[in-house]
Structure 1
């Protein structure tokens, strides 16, 4: 399913943005480096979900025939390390993405993510920003959700925030039953994308009351995109505004 934001930007329910004039496909946090190492862990990514990720990638390539693919974010959650046959898997993936002479660009949010074993042999040199026509592609957290306009930057497309909205719906006894849904968020001069992989969701719910009046959003539910009426969206309950971030491996527990 597609939503035509304007003549230059198409939102795709497969969690992608298509820039038709530039023939550029934009994906945020594809995380295809989750493959080889994750499959050997006690909590492996289910094979159907991994297969679905690649079906979406190649269906987007087949449908749009891009000349350029822009990847916003890391190749994997820890871009600087690879395990076992993961390095060869990454090189194989990039060969497929570059098929037919396509250019592949990776945009990272931090300079220290621009080097590392995960990139060796891929032919990719990450950048912190990438200009495509009137668009500036970036991957930044905690900024550009409620941005100030900077005309020199043109139109921002940001993949680092992962918009979530808390949406109420009637429960079994007519009580409010809330869902947190990923979304595309348009502020008037910036577009904030959801992550390509569903498990890379955000941790903070967007506060609609803080957005510019011209802001628009489209929630993602299954394979459908639906507009959110931001002006009518009630404030999320305090306990729903932030998702609990799982502790990092080896991090001390509270009180330790």
Structure 2
């Protein structure tokens, strides 16, 4: 196991991180998919008993990544906010305080399906919002997994997981990266997001993540 896996790609390299994010060292760009800020708050407004503190924990994990890697840009691959209810004052206040700590760092959101429903982040967060795909060098940065003929696609949306078989009926389902020719699917970064189980398939490499570590299966 390791904290990251170096993936050589079309004259550059991408680091798949055990913290459920990716880093492009050549451009000092951190890539995060499906953080879903305010999802727990939205569920609580519906009367559902859900965890407290998910926004604070997601921001703490982002801070740790920004401290660990030299970043000149942070890109969210869709679903920054979960729902219209995610604009709750307490959630936006925590996001505002966090943004102030990183005021000099350019941030971009590639708008996802939940962003279209929730609405863009408040202008006070100073996050550039663009439609998909966003082309950066050899990459097409997307939210939904749609292939591009001349670029390596980095996408989220599906919250991929992979089931590891144990003894007997024991098994463990973990978030994962899915890597295919010209196509990389990132795990959901956010807490309390759920996931879609991916089967093994010809030409698909899977890297599962847990506790800040990553390993191929």
Question: How does the TM-score come out when normalised to structure 2?
Answer: 0.82
Q: 1:5 is paired with a residue of what secondary structure?
A: strand
Q: Which has the higher contact order (CA 8 A, sep 6+)?
A: 2
Provide structure 1 residue ranges, at least 5 long, that are not aligned to the other structure: 229-256
For residue 197 of structure 2, the aligned residue among 189, 193, 205 is 205
What's the CA shift for 1:51? 4.4
Structure 2 unpaired stretches of 5+: none
Aligned ranges 1:42-191 → 2 under 5 Å: 43-47=49-53, 50-79=55-84, 82-97=87-102, 99=103, 101-110=104-113, 113=116, 116=119, 118-129=121-132, 130-140=134-144, 143-144=145-146, 150-151=149-150, 154-170=151-167, 175-191=168-184
CA separation of 1:127/1:42 partners in 2, compared to 1, >3 Å: closer, same or farther?
Answer: same
**Cα distance in structure 2, aligned partners of 1:51 and 1:94:** 13
Distance in 1, matches of 2:67 and 2:124, equals 25
Residues 107 and 138 of structure 1 are in contact (CA less than 8 Å); yes or no, is this contact kept in structure 2? Answer: yes
TM superposition shift of 1:162: 1.3
Change (3 A) 1:127 1:111: farther
Mapped pair 1:227 → 2:207? no
Preserved contact between residue 20 and residue 32 of structure 2 (Cα < 8 Å)? yes
Distance 2:16 2:135 in 1: 19
CA positional deviation for 1:90: 3.2
Confirm or deny: 8 A CA contact 1:81 1:118 kept in the other structure. Answer: no
Aligned-residue RMSD, C-alpha: 2.8
| Distance change >3 Å, CA 63–CA 4, structure 1 → 2 | same
**Distance in structure 1 (CA, Å) of the matches to 2:84 and 2:138:** 29
| Higher-strand-fraction structure | 2
Count of aligned pairs: 210
